[in-house]
Every structure is written in C-alpha cells, then in structure tokens.
Amino acid sequence: MHDMPPSVRPALRRLSRRLALGVFLDIWPAWAVASLLVAGIIALGCRMFLPGAASYLRWFWLAPVIVAVPALVISALRAYRPADVIAVADWLNGGRGMLLAVMETRDPAWIESALLQQGSAFAMPRVRPWRRLALVTAAAVFLGTALWVPQRAPRRTNSVAADEIAGRLNAAVVELKQQELITPADEKSLDDEIERIRRGAETRMDASSWEAADALKEKLAADVAEKQNALKWAADSLARYSAAAQAGASDPGAQASAAELASALEKLARTGLLAGAPGDLQKLMKGGKLPADPKALGELAAAVSKYLADANGRVASMARLGKEFGRFDPAEFPLEGGEDAAEGDPGRGGVTRGRGDAALTWGKETQPFDRFKARPLPPGAARSADDWSPLVELPGAPQAAPESSTAAGARQYDAAAGQSAWRRTLAPRHQSAVKKYFAK
C-alpha cells in the first residue's frame, strides 16, 4: 500500500483500519458470547455446589476482555492484505478498476491523473456491530443472573454442627478458666457436660441440641452472676462492718455486721473466689475471727477491698457471657414498621426462639405430653439487679442469705405483683432439651 500515490494513501489506510475493526468485530462477539455463557454456567455451578468459590465469581466479568486477546490474534492472522484493501476500495468506488490498475503496474503516468483521484474518493463502509453486540449483552445478562443467584449453603453434617456447639461451649469454659473463675472440679464437670451435649448432637441434631447448649451457657452465666453477687455482698458487708467497728465495740450492729461479713466471706469461699485471695484473707477465713484492733481491721478491710475490686473486675468481664448466651432481648431485634408493628403479632424473633413476651407456639409434639414428668428445676441465679424486687424494708442488713433469691426461671411470682407475664413456662418442644440437660 505504501507504493500507492500519496494522494490515495490516507484513504486506503483509513479503509485498512476500518476493515481490521470489522474483522475483529466479526470474531470477538462470538468469543465473548461463548465466554460469558460458559462463565455463567460455571457461576451457576459454583452457586450450587462450590460455596468456596463465591468470592472469585465476580472476576468472571473479565471473560470477554480475556477472550479479546485470542480474538485479536486471529484478527491479525485474518487481516486484509494490501491488495485486498485496494480491491475493496475499488469495489466501494463502483469497480472502475483504476486503483487496481495503478497498484499492479505502478505506472507513474497515471499516478496524478484525475481518474485515480476519482477512484480514491470512495465512501468508507459503516460499522454495524449492534446485532452482534446485542448477543453479547444477552450473554452478559445471563452471567449477571447467574451471579445474582443466592449462594446455596451446603448442608452441614451432625458431627460438624456438634463440634461447633461444643467448640463454643469450650471457648466459654476456657475463658472462665483464664479468669480463674472456675475450679478444676468445675472445669472437669463442665467438660463432661460439653462432651455429653456433643455426643447427643452427633446422634441427633435438632433444636434440642441447641437448647441444651444454651442451657449450659445460661448455667455458666448464672454462675458468673452468682459470683458477682457474692462479691458485691462481701464488699457491702465489709463496708458495713468497718463502719460499725469504727463506731466502737459497743455498737449493737457491730456483731451483726461481723456475722454478715463472715457469711459473705463463706459464700465467697464456696464460689471458689477465695482461691487466689491474699494470705491474710485466707487466714481470716481459716480462723473465722475478725481482728478487734481497728488498725488491723482497717488494713484487712483495705486488702479485702482491693482483692474484691480485682475479682469484681474479672467477674464483670465475664458478665458478657450472660449477654452472649442469654435469652432473647427484644431490643436487639426491633420489629419492622415502628410502634404499630411492635404491637402486632409477636414471635418473629427467630426460628426456634421467639420474643420473650410472645405466645408460645405449640407445634408438633415429639412426645406425648403426658409422658413428661415434671421435676423441680434447681435454683438458678438472677442475671441482673433488675430481677430483684424489694419484698420488705429491713432496718439494717438483711438476715437472709442471698441464695434465698431464686433464679428467675424458678421464681414463683405473685400475680398481684404484676409480673405474672414474666413467668416462664417450659414449652413442650423444650422438654427434651431440659431432660437431656438434667439427665445424668
């Protein structure tokens, strides 16, 4: 083409580029459509069978770009030769033959002729890729649809789910152990319990397995709450005792304060919180007598206060167990539609655990109701101070031990107190979980 006259060359170059574009557009759309269809089919397969590949599927959009490389190579191989370009140019100009004649003969006599100028004044062919690009668009829509399909989660086996349940429980136990909030005996007991739940879940995975796990977590949370209460009681009773001791031995409340402090420390010892206590405190517990000297008593009170503050910090850090594994908190799941919806049909909190104030749903019974034999539940622990209600105002420290306050789940509220709606009833579908938890 470079041998052609300069006046003709630009037009021929433009035509050559246009032809190259046409060749590419003849090849690439078919490749792009094929790549998008294949990518779409693969994406669908991954959506159904390969969840691990979900994060890589968006890269499938690069398929048309990638296939452009081989399409370019093939376009280059099929490119129009200069003689072909000139033949096309001559044909576009009506087939007068001037360009062809001059190209083949290179006759200088005709290079500047008017006939050749007329021969180079051809109209460029128009690019019409829309029909082919419409196919590419359709294929892209197919890929988009395939990527839009939700990822299908694989069905977990019982052992996987059981390991997950046990793993969560073990993590809670390990954390308690790190905070020195459980004794080795408790730890062994909890491990046995976790293993029992895991085996049960392996055997049969249903809602009862999760309920059993939740019950154990609640028990852990209740233990922590009990320790927290014991610490608070000890700190309060120590403060009252110190106040009474400073007032003098003649104070009638001093002896009562001493008795209360002794009970509180005993309670503290039972919860296992005194295992890491300072020597003075342990010695006091062994002797069972408080020092009469105000100075010694003050030092002891300071040591105990420091220890109690430290222990209280550890216990407080574990108090979140109660929130993590606790019961349903409606505040965490605001209902749709604002206040009107809040007054609507309750029970949308979850699949197996509805809102706390929801009417219980009685589904299919796994066992006849009359086969269940009621058994009194062991005393639980209050989760927070909100569960407490003043029964009577006593002058001074109460005489009753804190454990007299029963767990919320077992407390028999008086209907007159206005708390009858809080009463918890064991749903039939939870019976198996309860039985599994207490079966030893």
Partner 1 sequence: MTDPRTLPAPDRVADGQAKIARLVSGLRQVILGKEQTIDEIVASLLARGHVLLEGLPGLGKTELVKALSRLLSLDFRRIQFTPDLLPTDITGSHILQERDGRKEFVFHPGPVFTNLLLADEINRASPKTQAALLEAMQERRVTTFGETRPLPDPFFVLATQNPIELEGTYPLPEAQLDRFMFKVDVAGVDRAVLEEILITRIHGEPPPLAPVLSAAELRDLFALVDAVHMPRPVAAYIARLVAASHPASADAPDPVRTFVKYGSSPRAAIAIGAASRALALLRGRPGVGFDDVRQVARPAMAHRLVLDYTARLEGWDGRRVIDALLAAIPEIERGLPQTLEAR
Binding site for partner 1 (CB under 8 A): 18-19, 22-23, 25-26, 80, 83-84, 87-88, 90-92, 94-98, 100-107, 109-110, 113, 115, 123-129, 132
Q: Tell me if residue 78 falls in helix, strand or coil.
A: coil
What is the closest distance, in whole angstroms, from the C-beta atom of residue 133 to partner 1 in the complex? 9
DSSP conformation class of 271: T
79 or 239, CB closer to partner 1?
A: 79
DSSP conformation class of 344: S
What is the closest distance, in whole angstroms, from the C-beta atom of residue 141 to partner 1 in the complex? 21
23 or 381, CB closer to partner 1?
A: 23
119 or 380, CB closer to partner 1?
A: 119
Q: How far is CA 259 from CA 256, 389, 434, in A?
A: 5, 24, 38
Alpha-carbon gap, residue 14 to 8, rounded angstroms? 10
State phi, psi for 398 to the nearest 5 degrees.
Answer: -70, 150
Q: Which two tokens stand for residue 54?
A: 């979900």
131 or 289, CB closer to partner 1?
A: 131
38 or 79, CB closer to partner 1?
A: 79
Task: Give which of 269, 307, 244, 275 is closest to 177, Cα–Cα.
Answer: 275
- Helix H or strand E segment including 41: helix 9-49
What is the closest distance, in whole angstroms, from the C-beta atom of residue 129 to partner 1 in the complex? 5
22 or 294, CB closer to partner 1?
A: 22
Q: In 149-168, which positions are buried (b, 16+ CB within 10 angstroms) versus exposed (e)? A: eeeeeeeeeeeebbbebbeb
Q: Which two tokens stand for residue 418?
A: 């206005």
What is the closest distance, in whole angstroms, from the C-beta atom of residue 142 to partner 1 in the complex? 22
- The amino acid occupying position 42 is I
What is the closest distance, in whole angstroms, from the C-beta atom of residue 153 to partner 1 in the complex? 45
123 or 185, CB closer to partner 1?
A: 123
What is the closest distance, in whole angstroms, from the C-beta atom of residue 334 to partner 1 in the complex? 57
CA-atom Rg of the chain in angstroms: 42
Contacts of 73 (CB under 8 A, 6+ apart): none
What is the closest distance, in whole angstroms, from the C-beta atom of residue 131 to partner 1 in the complex? 8
The CA-based angle 380-381-385, given to 5 degrees, is 150
